[in-house]
């Protein structure tokens, strides 16, 4: 079993900042690529950012220059620093991880989601 637990969501004014974190635990051998997604009501779940185990990153065009994804491999934790928040960033944010377990094989796991609301 692998669990991903998210923290850091909340309410913030336009232009404000938040930092999300997501920690993986359980029968983990290694964590490969980690990512953040977001989903607004009535919309699909969209990719926000990814980071490989080596630290290479990619971002959706809508968040480039404002969001930064990072990770702490010793803690099996991924972070999303969000600056210059806009109302259109309002969504439930989900972390995702590609995990190799101690019993072998690899699977994707999802966090429980955390609400980010940006007021105008």
Please give the Cα distance from 84 to 68 (Å, whole number): 12
In three-state secondary structure terms, 14 is: coil
Cite the beta strand spans of 46-120 per DSSP E: 46-51, 57-59, 67-72, 77-82, 91-101, 106-110, 114-119
35-90 tens-digit pLDDT: 999 999 999 999 999 999 999 999 999 999 999 999 999 999 999 999 999 999 99
Backbone φ/ψ region at 88: left (φ over 0), alpha (ψ -120 to 50), beta: alpha
């Amino acid at each position: 079993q692998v669990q991903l637990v998210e923290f850091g969501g909340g309410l913030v004014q336009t232009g404000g900042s938040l930092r999300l974190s997501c920690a993986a635990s359980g029968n983990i051998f290694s964590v490969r690529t980690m990512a953040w997604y977001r989903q607004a009501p009535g919309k699909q779940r969209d990719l926000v950012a990814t980071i490989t185990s080596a630290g290479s990153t990619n971002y959706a065009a809508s968040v480039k220059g404002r969001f930064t994804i990072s990770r702490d491999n010793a803690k099996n934790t991924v972070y999303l620093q969000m600056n210059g928040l806009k109302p259109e960033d309002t969504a439930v944010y989900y972390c995702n991880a590609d995990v190799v377990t101690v019993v072998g094989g690899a699977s994707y796991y999802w966090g429980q989601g955390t609400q980010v609301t940006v007021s105008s």
